[in-house]
């Protein structure tokens, strides 16, 4: 009988402890429950201009070391195409544009709050040719002498828009527009000249620094095109607001700004 009594007592004690733990867990408020899951991995989607690829990949590496529970996933492309995706409801957490107008359209649509955005870095556009080209191309005006050259599609690729503005300012656009091979983004423009499918191209200074196969022969004067500014902001309907804000702030710290400068960008703040 004593054995049965001790067994019964043990079972009752176990039931009380188990029930108490269950009640305690259910009684936690939402904030406490969130803290329990704070170490769960979050995937952060960042849509960014193709010209930012090298700098952002470096920043991703250091950021993920400091915040191992956040995985940064980039969607690189032309700013126009990325803006369109976001407008159509693509699940994006941050947008890093190579053009203010595309970015401002999202602000006007209510998809980015002005208070959670900043003009972060700047750039320049340059004329580049194959490194061992025998053609005498030293200025933007010399483009009239080439058979074919490449720029990004002005309507969707910011560097193409800046290139067109410069050529119009120099009064050579009408003379050369029949020679243009348009590209979907700045990286495709780079490929065209590296493979010598075109005689010259107009790209960002930061992209000209990437390849050993090309040479920058002229830099466009700032008064020939709109200022080249890269704004970044948190998407208003992001489901990862806290993590998006972390990365947004991280992009602005001293280490990240030094990284942007290393790859040829101009710091604006």
User: Does residue 84 sit within a domain?
Assistant: yes
Please write the tens of the pLDDT for every residue from 44-94. Answer: 999 999 899 999 999 999 999 999 999 999 999 989 999 999 999 999 999
Pairing of strands 125-130, 200-204: antiparallel
Check whether residue 179 and residue 150 sit in a common domain.
yes
Q: What's the Cα-to-Cα distance from 124 to each of 37, 159, 208, 244, rounded to whole Å?
A: 44, 9, 10, 28
Range of the domain at 158: 125-224
Q: How many domains does the chain have?
A: 2
Check whether residue 240 and residue 108 sit in a common domain.
yes
The Cα–Cα gap between 241 and 34 comes to 14
Please write the tens of the pLDDT for every residue from 203-227. Answer: 999 988 887 888 899 999 999 999 9
The tokens for 71 are 């995985």
Check whether residue 116 and residue 134 sit in a common domain.
no
């Amino acid at each position: 009988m004593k054995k049965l009594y001790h067994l019964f007592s043990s079972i009752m004690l176990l039931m009380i402890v188990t029930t108490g733990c269950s009640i305690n867990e259910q009684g936690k408020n939402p904030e406490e429950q969130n803290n329990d899951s704070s170490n769960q991995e979050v995937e952060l989607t960042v849509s960014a201009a193709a010209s930012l690829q090298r700098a952002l990949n470096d920043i991703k590496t250091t950021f993920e070391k400091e915040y191992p529970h956040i995985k940064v996933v980039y969607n690189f492309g032309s700013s126009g195409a990325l803006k369109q995706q976001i407008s159509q409801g693509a699940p994006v957490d941050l947008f890093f544009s190579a053009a203010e107008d595309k970015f401002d359209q999202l602000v006007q649509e209510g998809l980015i709050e002005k208070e959670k955005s900043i003009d972060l870095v700047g750039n320049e556009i340059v004329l580049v040719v194959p490194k061992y080209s025998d053609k005498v191309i030293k200025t933007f005006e010399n483009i009239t002498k080439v058979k074919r050259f490449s720029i990004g599609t002005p309507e969707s690729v910011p560097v193409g828009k800046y290139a067109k503005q410069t050529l119009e300012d120099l009064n050579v656009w009408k003379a050369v527009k029949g020679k243009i091979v348009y590209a979907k983004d700045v990286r495709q423009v780079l490929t065209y000249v590296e493979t010598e499918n075109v005689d010259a191209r107009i790209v960002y200074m930061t992209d000209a620094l990437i390849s050993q196969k090309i040479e920058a022969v002229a830099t466009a004067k700032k008064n020939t095109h709109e200022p080249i500014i890269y704004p970044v902001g948190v998407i208003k309907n992001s489901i990862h607001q806290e993590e998006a804000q972390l990365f947004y702030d991280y992009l602005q710290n001293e280490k990240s700004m030094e990284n942007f400068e290393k790859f040829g960008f101009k710091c604006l703040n």
